[in-house]
């Protein structure tokens, strides 16, 4: 267990409508979908606890009350859970983080609510601290294999990040784990809806986004295929 990680809470972005997974997500939020016998969020928290993470803030929107009811204060899963709600309108991934800042403090990890990531967190946190950048994105050399590559990563630097632009030099993909200092989001008005990708674009333009390449592939439940694959990975071996 790494002491460095005790200083870092993790924000989990779990407020979306999960339209790609309908009809499974019409009456249940994505993080509560059963995977290998238990809610996906339970698997995520297990991973985080194993890394040495102790505090998690769930950014919730659609059907979020169901998550609070099932997971409570998090003690049953070995972590301290807190919750931040979008409110009357969905705030997007960036707006949700802006809303959660009072619970997150000065620096924090951000994890998507459908990502299952096995890479060690401690080296990433140490790299972030030494980088003197306001943000960090982890990247994986995907070569278009598991999803559409969206990052040009060259000589240890993120040169381009764009989910809409398609460039032949894009060999890497956003791995789904990032780190930020709070002022990145404090500059935005509270209650404004915006996407985390907008903030990442700005950090790239300012040369203020560190890049950390991870060798482990990612797993996700953002699609029916991803859900099925993770079920096979985590199912008890007979």
pLDDT digits (tens, 9 = 90+) for 105-162: 999 999 999 999 999 999 999 999 999 999 999 999 999 898 899 999 999 999 999 9
- What residues form DSSP beta bridges with 167? none
What pLDDT, on a 0 to 100 scale, did the predictor assign at position 181? 97
Q: What is the pTM of this model?
A: 0.95
Across all residues in the chain, what is the average pLDDT? Answer: 92
Asked if 119 and 127 count as a contact pair (C-beta separation under 8 A), the reply is no
What pLDDT, on a 0 to 100 scale, did the predictor assign at position 2? 64
What pLDDT, on a 0 to 100 scale, did the predictor assign at position 90? 87
pLDDT (average), residues 179-187 = 96
Q: How far is CA 104 from CA 13, 55, 57, in A?
A: 13, 9, 7
Is the pLDDT at 18 greater than 90? The verdict is no
What pLDDT, on a 0 to 100 scale, did the predictor assign at position 131? 95
pLDDT digits (tens, 9 = 90+) for 93-111: 999 999 999 999 999 999 9
What pLDDT, on a 0 to 100 scale, did the predictor assign at position 87? 86
Q: Where are the beta strands (DSSP E) in the chain?
A: 10-14, 34-35, 38-39, 55-60, 80-85, 107-112, 115-116, 135-141, 151-154, 157-161, 172-181, 209-213, 219-220
3-state secondary structure (DSSP) of residue 224 = helix
């Amino acid at each position: 267990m790494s002491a460095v990680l005790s200083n870092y809470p993790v924000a989990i972005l779990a407020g979306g409508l999960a339209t790609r997974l309908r009809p499974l997500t019409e009456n249940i939020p994505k993080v509560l979908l059963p995977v290998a016998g238990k809610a996906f969020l339970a698997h995520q928290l297990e991973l985080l606890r194993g890394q040495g993470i102790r505090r998690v803030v769930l950014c919730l929107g659609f059907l979020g009350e169901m998550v609070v009811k099932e997971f409570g204060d998090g003690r049953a899963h070995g972590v301290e859970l807190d919750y931040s709600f979008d409110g009357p309108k969905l705030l997007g991934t960036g707006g949700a983080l802006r809303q959660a800042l009072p619970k997150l403090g000065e620096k924090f990890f951000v994890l998507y609510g459908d990502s299952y990531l096995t890479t060690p967190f401690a080296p990433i946190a140490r790299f972030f601290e030494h980088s003197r950048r306001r943000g960090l994105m982890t990247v994986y050399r995907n070569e278009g294999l598991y999803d559409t590559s969206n990052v040009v990563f060259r000589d240890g630097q993120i040169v381009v990040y764009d989910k809409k632009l398609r460039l032949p030099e894009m060999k890497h993909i956003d791995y789904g784990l990032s780190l930020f200092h709070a002022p990145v989001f404090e500059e935005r008005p509270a209650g404004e809806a915006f996407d985390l990708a907008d903030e990442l674009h700005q950090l790239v333009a300012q040369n203020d986004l560190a890049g950390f390449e991870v060798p482990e592939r990612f797993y996700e439940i953002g699609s029916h295929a991803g859900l099925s694959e993770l079920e096979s990975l985590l199912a008890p071996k007979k």
